[in-house]
Amino acid sequence: MGKPTGFMEYEREDSITVEPEKRIQNFEEFHIGLPLEKQRKQGARCMDCGVPFCQSGTMISGMVSGCPLHNLVPETNELVYEGNFEQAYYRLSKTHSFPEFTSRVCPALCEAACTCGLEGHPVATKDNERTIIDYAYENGLVTEEIPKVRTGKKIAIIGSGPSGLAAAQLLNRRGHSVTVYERSDRPGGLLRYGIPNMKLDKRSIDRRIQLMEQAGVEFKCGVNVGADISAEEIRKNYDRVILCCGASNPRDIAVEGRDATGIYFAVDFLKEVSKKLMDSEYDHEAVIKAKNFSFGSLKGKHVVVIGGGDTGNDCVGTCIRLGAKGVLQIEMMPPASPCRAADNPWPEWPRVLKTDYGQEEAIYKYGKDPRVFSTTVTEFLKNESGALRGVKTVELERKKDAKTGRVSMVTKSGTEKEVKADLVLIAAGFLGSEEYVTKEFGVERNQRTNVATGVFRDGAFVTVENTYQTSRENIFTAGDMHRGQSLVVWAIAEGRGVAAEVDRSLMGYTNS
């Protein structure tokens, strides 16, 4: 440990954040790192706590406490304090595939479990991680290992999101020949098309993809496996197949008027905006002024976003940048507590109310928080031509069933309203993997529509948790397709896990 008294000497200082007034003028990232000397003090705040929950990735009360990648957080923080950013990068890269992604989009499970946060502010581990990886890129430290010997084994990975990329990285390093199939025009999956540029600049994805290609990973974009090429052909040409297609089946809002024009799934909306930005060579002004989106121009329009969470927040921030006259975000659940409740003690993940960047920007732009809690949509309202003109909403309240004891949200009589809406974005989450892919490969799904995994015993498939083998021999799965909609950091952990299992199935052992 670098400085035993650091947590008492230095206050937490976060990265510099561009004010909403300026940042809504473009799609640029708006967090700016501290000078290295200031960041070193943040590393010094790491305590000699004895039991570093920050790196545990342990399930507590049904939630993960600490980093699923098991990054050795105290070690990297100490190296940051010492100013040894080169060694900090090498230490971090032993357990982490893509710090440039998580240091921008991760909710920082490590910080939520930080002992320093028990009585004060946690160590700024996320910002420390970003400083480490940005320093490493700026100083030419980031490379992808080119294997000296190839094994002769061929692996196909279907999907190029964070789990697919992590698996490809480790299996290629091992010496296997890896081909990644992606149905979109560019690799990255939801990293590229589900997260707005202001949270994760797409050029950071391109930078990593280029390194992986130079190391021998082959990317085939614009190829929809199950439509453009059959699963049988893939199986015939590769020794192992890994399905990393995500939980990309969006949950719909099946109420009257759903056929109105002007209703879009959030992921389609975000993808279209991101694609236009990349196609324009990051001409932010041109995208903001564009009128040729499938949904037209948002200038002067009222937008209703259905659903909270990161995706709903991203829609709010994107709509503001595109000039929406007003944005309303409808959340079914009541607001969380502003601080930890007694039944939510450290080091559990804190179930507290968070005002994210999109809501901050809406408060600046429109003068109020866009969120309406404990509310649901009961009808989409259409005009004579079938276009959306508004939504009907009703408030919800918690009600406990006297027989079962289960608590559910029920409608509250007399609270019906009509809200003006020219565009609705559905950000209500996902229902698991898309059926056409799982049917094409003939793999079993569980009750949550995720791909089931397990082992073969006496010729029979037996489901087992924390495995990656599907019900079809030599076909594996990882990421959201396996565990359901989750975080980027979990997808990377899954990608690393499936790489080890696939390597072991091919070689009899693994060093991944």
Distance of CA 232 to the CA centre of its chain: 31
DSSP assignment letter at 427? -
Find out whether 423 and 297 touch, Cβ atoms under 8 Å. Answer: no
pLDDT, residue 196, reads 98
What residue type is assigned to position 213 of the chain?
Answer: E
CA distance 485 to 467: 17
pLDDT, residue 403, reads 84
The domains of the chain are located at 6-138, 154-249+431-507, 263-426
CA distance 338 to 335: 9
pLDDT, residue 48, reads 84
Instruction: Name the burial class of residue 343, with classes exposed (0-12), middle (13-18) and buried (19+) by CB atoms within 10 angstroms of its CB.
Output: exposed
CATH of domain 154-249+431-507: 3.50.50.60
CA distance 499 to 353: 37
At 325, is the secondary structure helix, strand, or coil?
coil
Using only C-alpha atoms, the chain has a radius of gyration, in whole angstroms, of 24
CATH of domain 6-138: 1.10.1060.10
Q: Look up the pTM and report it.
A: 0.96
Fold of 263-426: FAD/NAD(P)-binding domain (3.50.50)
Structure tokens at 367: 């003068």
Alpha-carbon separation of residue 149 from 152, 238, 348 (angstroms): 9, 19, 45
pLDDT, residue 493, reads 98
Find out whether 432 and 484 touch, Cβ atoms under 8 Å. Answer: yes
Q: Residue 181's beta-bridge partner residues?
A: 158, 220
Question: Concatenated DSSP letters for 154-191?
Answer: EEEEE--SHHHHHHHHHHHHHT-EEEEEESSSSS-THH
Same fold, 154-249+431-507 and 263-426: yes
Q: How do the pLDDT tens digits run along the chain, 512 residues long? A: 668 899 999 999 999 999 999 999 999 999 999 999 999 999 999 998 989 999 999 988 888 899 999 999 999 999 999 999 999 999 999 999 999 999 999 999 999 999 999 889 999 999 999 999 999 999 999 999 899 999 999 999 999 999 999 999 999 999 999 999 999 999 999 999 999 999 999 999 999 999 999 999 999 999 999 999 999 999 999 999 999 999 989 999 999 999 999 999 999 999 999 999 999 999 999 999 999 999 999 999 999 999 999 999 999 999 999 999 999 999 999 999 999 999 999 999 999 999 999 999 999 999 999 999 999 999 999 999 999 999 999 999 999 888 888 989 999 999 999 999 999 999 999 988 899 999 999 999 998 889 999 999 998 999 998 999 999 999 999 999 999 999 999 999 999 999 999 999 999 999 87
CA distance 335 to 341: 13
pLDDT, residue 404, reads 86
CA distance 169 to 188: 13
